[in-house]
Chains A and B, each alone.
Chain A
Amino acid sequence: MRLHRFTLFQRLFHLLLMVSFLVQATTGVGRMYAETNFGKVLLTPFGGFYNALVWHKLVGIFMLVLFGVHLIYIMIVALRLRERSIMGPDSIIPNRMDMRMMVNHLGWMVGRNKIPPFERWGYWEKFDYWAVFWGMVIIGGTGLFLYDPLISSAIMPGWTINVAFWIHRIEAILAMAHVFLIHFAIAHLRRHNFPMDRAMFAGGADLESAKEERAAWISRLEQEGRLNNLTSRDTSLPGLVVSYLIGFSAILLGLYVIIGGIVNFRYVTW
């Protein structure tokens, strides 16, 4: 049996964010490594060094619009939940319990206690969610500033372009390394989810795994009598194939970008 952890709207947000992030990573890293074969390979599908910048700017604007739509979405969700607390167990907002869960989880990792019963969102998932917010503000803000340096320099002194460029670059490296190494490892590599956590794709999450990992959430759903409404049989074969195709393509691209980036690091013109 499968458990539907995310709504269709949330999965659509994730898919659009994933695709646009991969385009930004490919075009951005490609331009950063433009002198190397690795960079040229990344830039080729986007029409080379100059055209890749056009893609990078347009997709960057798309991401900011997507971020704006998401802000409207969470405002609507918050208004709907006004009867219940926005700090309730279904909330993505971090609370003190997350800190306790993290400490207990670390204790379990070193064999000191039992695995903690997680609620709907684990502390690592909350971090991933809010990291996108902070990344979007920093990368999006500096990206917008770099969009047209002539206009930007009319507002701020020209040397702020140097500063914005470095902030944009370091934050982008941080975001890519976090997604391609940490997020992918948690969602795909650990035995609990191997070869891929399909919670965000067709079919939803595995119910048995969820019972083990999110015991607190499952028991709450059982108490509220909502568990049956959220479970269903697995998706059909085409849905499964498409899910794995999207997931593994993202992993392959991410690994290529990370490994190529590390190998060619010394050839970057900073």
Chain B
Amino acid sequence: MRKKTLCLLVIAAVILLPDPSIGQEEVASRYYHYRSTEMSTGIYEEYEVRPRGIHALFDGDKERQRDAGISRSDESESRAWNRLFLNDSHRGIAFYEYRRCVDCHPGNAQNRHTVRYGITCRQCHGGEPIASINHYFSRLNPIRQHTHVCSKCHSGAKASFALYAVHEPNPARASTIDSIPFLFYAFWIMVAIAVLTFALFIPHTFMWIVREIFHREKKQREE
């Protein structure tokens, strides 16, 4: 009788009690879940990358370095979503509340994201206080820009995708060499090819058309 009761209790416990902790991967292995869901499937806003000064501890161990600082992000824990932790880059600017972003950053609204798709500055940079994109808890910090900003529209965006320059530098300017050198060189190589092609063929075609007019006239006179 005791054995039977014990067996029934064990069966009931297996059915009714929650899974053992090893099955609760969200608690047991947060960074694994981050990598297996957010990074691969595009499920976002559950985990965040948090900057911590522990990279030096894993000097040389690239795998551990990569996984370091990834932890669960929820309402109570998230620093990137909580703007309390941000510095205010615009602190001290007179009449700041009455200014628009483009008053001080006029060129930054001239990009395809803003003009074509109507994306406002705050949709990416967030509300007040607006911190530098290099601030630890900024959503635009390169460590989390892809998950917290890009993926709003580009589901599945990864860190490499966030390297696309939304505020693209003018490719013709020499200063672009400092930010995206390939863009500068590719632009001028392509322009050189186009200019050489037209420098040869536009006068060639024009001269040909003009010459044929006289050629025909001469032929007709001979006839």
Contact = CB atoms under 8 A, between A and B. Distances in A.
Interface of A: 34-35, 49, 105-106, 108-111, 115, 124, 149-150, 153-154, 156-163, 166-167, 170-171, 173-174, 177-178, 181-182, 185-186, 189-192, 269-270
Contacts, number: 108
Given A109-B208, A163-B180, A186-B208, A173 B160 contact: no
A166 B160 CA distance: 19
Given A159-B180, A269-B110, A150 B156 contact: yes
A167 B207 contact: no
B163 A158 contact: yes
Report, nearest first, the 5 A-B pairs whose CB atoms are least far apart: A158-B163, A158-B164, A170-B190, A153-B161, A174-B194
B154 A150 contact: yes
Nearest to B210: A109
A64 B40 CA distance: 30
B208 A190 contact: yes
Given A153-B158, A158-B160, A159-B165, A182 B211 contact: no
B140 to A, nearest CB: 14
B211 A109 contact: yes
B197 A178 contact: yes
Contacts of A109: 204, 207-208, 210-211
A269 B190 contact: no
30 contacts: A35-B115, A109-B207, A109-B211, A124-B204, A149-B154, A153-B158, A153-B164, A154-B158, A157-B163, A158-B162, A158-B164, A159-B165, A162-B165, A162-B180, A163-B180, A163-B186, A166-B183, A170-B191, A173-B194, A177-B194, A178-B197, A178-B201, A185-B205, A186-B205, A186-B208, A190-B208, A190-B212, A191-B212, A192-B216, A269-B110
By DSSP majority rule, is chain B's interface helix, strand, loop, or mixed? Answer: helix
B186 A166 contact: yes
B200 to A, nearest CB: 9
A67 B213 CA distance: 37
B99 interface: no
Nearest to B211: A109
Given A149-B164, A150-B161, A171 B190 contact: yes
Contact of B209 (A150, A160, A185): A185
A159 B186 CA distance: 13
A153 B163 contact: yes
Nearest to A174: B194
Contacts of B157: 150, 153
Contacts of A173: 194
Contacts of B162: 158
A105 B160 CA distance: 52
A167 B2 CA distance: 81
* Most B C-beta atoms less than 10 A away, residue of A149, A154, A158, A269: A158
Given A109-B211, A149-B161, A192-B216, 17 more contacts: A49-B116, A110-B207, A124-B204, A150-B157, A153-B157, A154-B158, A157-B160, A158-B161, A159-B163, A159-B180, A162-B180, A162-B183, A166-B171, A167-B190, A170-B194, A178-B198, A269-B111
